[in-house]
Structure 1
């Protein structure tokens, strides 16, 4: 019985923490304009968020070549952001539930994200699955190898979890 209670507590903890994280960090529509097109660049690796041309599904880090598969339309929807490929009109979503190591993929249905300023450098952003503590993470600690997958991971102070968002 005690074990079950402890297990339930630890499983519910991320949801509780997400609900009390101060929302003042949420990037407002004054900072990012809805329905504009952006390039999203990983701060550590310098690679941009890329919808893989190989499978039109995987969301990866890749050197910038100004492709439409590397440009994203950010849409404000009911208190969070949807991020849509400028080239194919697919949204960035998850290949499963938000958890450490879940890969980002292109999906046809709207998926929503919270975009917050980074606490260490307010000119950078963190992108969280809506109402969770899972944020985008360029895998292998921000390895700049082209094609490195982008996944979700619980927030920690790694620069490979921070992003520049620049209007195009």
Structure 2
């Protein structure tokens, strides 16, 4: 599947990621495709050019943007969560702070859900969007905590798996 078969939101997200590149789109295009105009053609569909998944991944790696993957995940009914980079010093204090943050986010979600139904007994679109945003933040905090737990207390097999994921670029779960 290529990105041009997905809703325009994904292509627009890819354009946003491209805009993050400091050297300009032609330099980014050269880095991704080897040619100065090819990326622009793929982002506009010029002459039926298609932005493929490999090119989108290269753009995200070079720009640090994650708009494209977030839009793709949203289209597929999911979410993308950036996990902390390997190599950061983590200890029990980091774990406790991370757990506290996740716990507070869960409480925040519960409060917002209660407030959404308290006034009229229904959840409207605006309230739903707020709940989904809060739930996404909660999910990220829980995964962040579990990642830290693996790094601090994971046994030899877990540590080896973490190193393999990092070396393969598959650090996100």
> Which structure shows the higher helix fraction?
2
Q: TM-score, normalised by structure 2?
A: 0.21
Q: TM-score, normalised by structure 1?
A: 0.22
> Which structure shows the higher strand fraction?
1
Which structure ranks higher in relative contact order (CA pairs < 8 Å, sequence separation ≥ 6)? 1
Q: Which has the larger radius of gyration?
A: 2
